Structure 1
């Protein structure tokens, strides 16, 4: 048959370790579990867009209509906040505060964090929302298909797949010559901050990789140091 993938091999080795540990606890003479070595995980290449690529991508949407304004606002929001695809897709209009330029999200493991909007993201979100004369709750809505008559219009929300296709469409239109996804924009967000001198620990918190003080930071209390990091180092504020 086909050779097992690295992940499958690791899964079986971990299971074998657990079995040996159990037998050892039962008093059986078996090979020490620690003698079973797990294979090293292959190194993952980090894909991100450089400054020129980002500028071309952000300029790709045609901003003369609602669809183009939505798309520009969406890509700007990705780059400004470093949100995961699922986090961005779940956003509602009332989540966004364009005055404070910050809002709370619940990320992986139900961990809350605060993210920030750059000057550019704030401007394009404002322009996009000013063209919205509907009462649908989702921040980013689809522009085709049957209208949703349900209160709040949950069916108008863009799916994660449609957002992914949108990003890939503009990567092609911008002629970047690379494969890029919404997660590439998340990496680009972190790289932009770090390359401009931001502290790694602060960037980890902005990405939601660190443990946060749950409700205190999620509501309206912002960590001023993180705000300052975003304000100082994100290129959308330059």
Structure 2
């Protein structure tokens, strides 16, 4: 039996599971936090369940530690480290037979998913339109530049609920305007699956404008389509990355006064589809690319007015 270090364990796990670079970064972050608490000289085999519980108490949010992490974050950390230990024990990489992260997750509060309101979306659209008119009239960069590009990205998130990483992997050749469909590749998919999604009528003009601009800029079929650097006077990277999208939403949030993000658009779409009278759970599951229908079911929220009518209908006593 070997007794590897945390980083050696992570390296072996990543190679065995063929983890994506983004997943490796996530695991590395969790391991780094745990090693910081334990001390960098600590080996995985030296960790006991009691040490894990003490770490949990030290970092999780409580009355004594109001700046700690949420229960959901702790459960995420413990899942990653439990998987590493299970792998290490199974393959005799750790001089231990007991997984110290077994049974250390906690119950987390059931709160509504963070979403958006229709008024907030309408206001954000108006802000983007003002930025676009400013750039057109004065030939200067607005705070959100180029506004027409960010409009297209905004509407794509709104109409499709696509995940950020998957949007960044859309290539110019993935858009078929004639058939009004686009391909969301498996490369950026959280579920590792490719999907073909329709282009809704209200999204079509924005994607049409983007495709025309991409053609004029000499895009090839394999080029990243949502790449602000190819259309901007301000951005100079080779490819658009997560940070640039997050920076756009941060700027938009500041201008509107509402917190906006790609994931909130995803939650808004899921909720809207499941609140529709003609809702179809399996269609919603396909649109959001969920592997487990229970995830889709989370978007079903109780109708407060229906509950009020039921309570009011009770016979008097």
Q: 1:201 to 1:120 in 2, by over 3 A?
A: same
Query: Of the two structures, which has the highest relative contact order with CA contacts closer than 8 Å and spacing of 6 or more?
Result: 1
Aligned partner of 2:261 in structure 1 is 181
* 1:55 to 2:122 alignment: yes
| 1:202 corresponding residue in structure 2 | 283
Q: CA deviation digits over 1:114-138, x for unaligned, max 9? A: 2222222111121233334212322
Larger Rg: 2
Question: Cα offset for 1:184?
Answer: 0.7
Do the aligned partners of residues 8 and 116 (structure 1) sit closer, same or farther apart at CA in structure 2, a change above 3 Å counting?
A: closer
On the 8 A contact 1:111/1:211 being kept in 2, the answer is no
SS in 2 for 1:59: helix
**Cα-to-partner distance string for 1:78-134 (whole Å, 9 max, x where unaligned):** 111111011111112111112222222222131122222222211112123333421
Q: Deviations over 1:21-55 (max 9, x none)?
A: x9xxxxxxxxxxxxx68532332431111222212
Select which of 231, 244, 247 maps to 1:162. Answer: 244
**Among 122, 127, 135, the residue aligned to 2:218:** 135
Match of 1:3 in 2: 58
| Maintained 8 Å contact 1:89/1:159 | yes
- Residues 37 and 183 of structure 1: CA distance in aligned 2, closer, same or farther (over 3 Å): closer
TM-aligned CA distance change 1:185 to 1:3, over 3 Å: same
Distance 2:250 2:198 in 1: 24
**CA distance in structure 1 between the aligned counterparts of 2:213 and 2:76, rounded to whole angstroms:** 53
After superposition, residues 13-92 of structure 1 pair within 5 angstroms as 38-61=105-128, 62-64=131-133, 65=136, 67-92=146-171
**Aligned equivalents of 2:75, 2:119: Cα separation in 1:** 40
Kept in 2: contact 1:10–1:39 (CA 8 A): no
Number of aligned positions between the proteins: 185
Structure 1 unaligned spans of 5+: 23-35, 148-154, 213-238
Contact 1:80 1:116 in 2 (8 A): no
- Structure 2: give runs of 5+ residues left out of the alignment: 1-54, 61-70, 90-102, 137-144, 294-317
TM-score, normalised on structure 2? Answer: 0.51
Give the aligned partner of residue 109 of structure 1: 191
How many Å separate the matches in 1 of 2:77 and 2:252? Answer: 38
- In the superposition, the TM-score normalised over structure 1's length comes to 0.66
Residue 222 of structure 1 corresponds to none
- Contact 2:170–2:183 under 8 Å retained in 1: no
Deviations 1:183-233 (A, max 9, x none): 111111212222223223321221111379xxxxxxxxxxxxxxxxxxxxx
Q: Assess if the C-alpha contact under 8 Å between 1:75 and 1:167 holds in 2.
A: no
1:120 counterpart = 2:199: no
Match of 1:232 in 2: none
